[in-house]
Amino acid sequence: MIAWLGAVVFSSCLVAAHAAELGGRVVAVADGDSIVIRSSDRKTHRIRLAGIDAPEKGQAFSSRSRQHLAQWIQRQEVIVDWHKRDDYGRLTGVVIAFGHDINLEQVRAGMAWWYRAYAHEQRPADARLYAAAEQEARIAKRGLWSSHEPMPPWEWRRKEQLRLPSSGRSNRDLAPMCSAAAVVPVLSHVLARCSPCIRTTIESPRERLIREIFHIFHGASRVAGDADVAEGRVPAASVGTVSSSQPARVPV
């Protein structure tokens, strides 16, 4: 208990020590938790609303979350009580407008999750408010909570990182196919141009290397099996043990 209280006090002091205020007019609302403001010195600043996580583009309620935020603060003067820059260089903080905590209003309306993973960066009183607001929205089935088991954006991002946008295949699954597809046509062209020298009775180290690379990308070993012949991957003439004295004919 003492250790937990110490951690809370430490985190509160840490947030307070790094807090700073920035005022400006909202010139863009990117999504339900990201905006752009222009300060009095005409500089623009990208802001990430702290303590919340709104649906990502492509998720249900992404557009409604952005619209709800825009209705509050688009072209309005706001104060940003920020405490850090995130990995993208955005100022992370609480946006205040009309005396309201706009971050909290997004959670209360069911347009964003309370971002529990970063609760340690909030003041303890704020963390309790955000947790209660999310629970209230969940019970009332407001916004995204009207859906059955809505997916938190951090889980959605993790799943999207494991998928390719077009085919849905993972990078690991597609990489060998891409490599083979890119290399085999080139090797086929080289082998076709060099076929007179490859079909000699004496195989040079360079010719052996080209032939072995070709077989690697065609999925054939140095000893072709009956299954390869049956499926047409390797001609019957090339089946058998390859030796330096009697090289097999390379399929072209």
Is 46 designated active site? Answer: no
Pick the catalytic residue from 66, 90, 108, 211.
90
Transcribe 107-147 into DSSP letters: HHTTSSEE-GGGGGGS-HHHHHHHHHHHHHHHHHT-GGGGS
Q: Using alpha carbons only, give the angle 41, 42, 43 rounded to the nearest 5 degrees.
A: 95
Nearest by Cα to 123 from 3, 27, 232, 14: 14
Rg of the chain, C-alpha, whole Å: 31
Contacts 24+ apart (CB under 8 A), 217-222: 217/179, 217/180, 217/183, 217/184, 217/187, 218/184, 218/251
Pick the catalytic residue from 38, 46, 56, 123.
56
Is 90 designated active site? Answer: yes
Is 48 designated active site? Answer: yes
| Distance from C-alpha of 234 to C-alpha of 249, rounded to nearest angstrom | 10
Active site residues per annotation:
48, 56, 90
